[in-house]
C-alpha cells in the first residue's frame, strides 16, 4: 500500500514529535500512575490544545479586506472550509474540548471503534461525520497510536466517506504503530508528543501511561 517515488523508494508520511516543553512536562504528569481521573482529563485537554496549535501551524492563509476602527486593511485568515476534528471513541474525545477551545468553529466527526481484546482488531460501532469531508482538512484524534488498527480503520472509514486531506494526532506512539500506519496510509502525517519504546504482548505502549480511556473515565 505504500507510495513509491520515481526511483521506487517508499514514501512514508512524516512524523512530528512535538517537543515543546509544556507538552513534555504535561505528558510526564499524565504518565504518573497516581494521577487522578480529574487530573488526567484536565491535562489531556490541555495537551490537546497545545497539539492543535502545532498541527495547524501550516494551514494556508488567504488575505481578506477588513476595516479596523482606523482604516481598511488586508489581513490574513485561514483559507478554505472549517476543519473537522475526528475523535476515535472513546479516548479520542479526551482531546476534543481542548482542541475546540482553539478551533471553535471546527466540525466534529465521531468514529466509534473498540479494540477486540482477543484479536486487538478494531471493530466499528458508530460513524457520523459531515457530508463534505472531501473539502476539509480532517484531524483524526486518538491519544494512543499502539497497534495502529484503530487509526487505520478510522482513516479507512473517513477516506471511504471522501476525506482526502487527513492528519493523525496522538499523545503517545509505539514504533510498531507508526510503521504500520505509515505503510497503510503513507499520505497521512502524524503528530505525537512521544514515540515510546515498544508494544507489550497485550498491545499496550511501554512505558506508556496505561489505558487512556480507563484513566480518562475512571472505568478501570
Residues with a catalytic annotation lie at: 115, 119, 211, 214
Query: If you compute the radius of gyration of the chain from its CA atoms, what whole number of angstroms results?
Result: 18
- Using the minimum distance from each CB to ligand URA, give the nearer residue, 13 or 144: 144
- Using the minimum distance from each CB to ligand URA, give the nearer residue, 106 or 174: 174
Of the candidate residues 55, 84, 144, 193, the single one contacting ligand URA (CB under 6 A): 144
Using DSSP bridges, classify how beta strands 165-169 and 190-192 pair: parallel, antiparallel or unpaired. parallel
Q: How far apart are the first and last CA of the chain?
A: 37
Q: Round to whole Å and give the CA distance between 173 and 188.
A: 15
- Using the minimum distance from each CB to ligand URA, give the nearer residue, 124 or 211: 211
Residue 146 is a binding residue for ligand URA (CB under 6 A): yes
Shortest approach of ligand URA to residue 152 CB, angstroms? 14
Q: Which three cell numbers stand for residue 55?
A: 498541527
Shortest approach of ligand URA to residue 162 CB, angstroms? 28
For ligand URA, the binding residues in 185-214 under the rule CB under 6 A are: 203-205, 208, 211-213
Could you tell me which residues are annotated as the binding site for uracil? 205, 210-212
Q: Round to whole Å and give the CA distance between 217 and 219.
A: 5
For ligand URA, the binding residues in 66-95 under the rule CB under 6 A are: 91
For ligand URA, the binding residues in 42-71 under the rule CB under 6 A are: none
# binding residues, ligand URA (CB under 6 A): 10
Q: Round to whole Å and give the CA distance between 25 and 32.
A: 11
Q: Round to whole Å and give the CA distance between 216 and 114.
A: 16
Q: Round to whole Å and give the CA distance between 198 and 163.
A: 30
Q: Round to whole Å and give the CA distance between 198 and 196.
A: 6
Shortest approach of ligand URA to residue 210 CB, angstroms? 6
Could you tell me which residues are annotated as the binding site? 90, 115, 142-150, 205, 210-212
**Which has the closest alpha carbon to 154: 121, 179, 195?**
121
- Using the minimum distance from each CB to ligand URA, give the nearer residue, 136 or 215: 215
Question: Which residues lie near ligand URA (CB under 6 A)?
Answer: 91, 144, 146, 203-205, 208, 211-213
Amino acid at each position: 500500500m505504500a507510495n513509491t517515488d520515481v526511483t521506487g523508494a517508499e514514501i512514508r508520511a512524516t512524523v512530528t514529535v512535538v517537543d515543546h516543553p509544556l507538552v513534555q512536562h504535561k505528558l510526564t504528569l499524565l504518565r504518573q500512575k497516581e494521577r487522578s481521573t480529574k487530573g488526567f482529563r484536565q491535562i489531556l485537554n490541555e495537551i490537546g490544545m497545545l497539539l492543535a496549535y502545532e498541527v495547524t501551524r501550516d494551514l494556508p492563509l488567504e488575505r481578506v479586506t477588513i476595516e479596523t476602527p482606523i482604516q481598511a486593511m488586508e489581513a490574513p485568515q485561514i483559507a478554505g472550509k472549517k476543519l473537522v476534528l475526528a475523535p476515535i471513541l472513546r479516548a479520542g474525545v479526551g482531546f476534543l474540548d481542548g482542541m475546540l477551545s482553539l478551533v471553535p468553529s471546527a466540525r466534529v466527526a465521531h468514529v466509534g471503534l473498540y479494540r477486540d481484546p482477543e484479536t486487538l482488531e478494531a471493530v466499528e460501532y458508530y460513524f457520523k461525520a459531515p457530508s463534505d469531508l472531501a473539502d476539509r482538512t480532517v484531524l483524526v484524534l486518538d491519544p494512543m497510536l499502539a497497534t495502529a488498527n484503530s487509526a487505520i480503520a478510522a482513516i479507512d472509514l473517513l477516506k471511504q466517506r471522501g476525506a482526502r486531506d487527513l492528519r493523525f494526532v496522538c499523545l503517545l506512539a509505539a514504533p510498531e504503530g507508526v510503521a504500520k500506519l505509515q505503510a497503510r496510509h503513507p499520505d497521512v502525517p502524524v503528530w505525537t508528543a512521544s514515540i515510546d519504546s515498544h508494544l507489550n504482548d497485550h498491545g499496550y505502549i511501554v512505558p506508556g501511561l496505561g489505558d487512556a480511556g480507563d484513566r480518562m473515565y475512571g472505568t478501570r
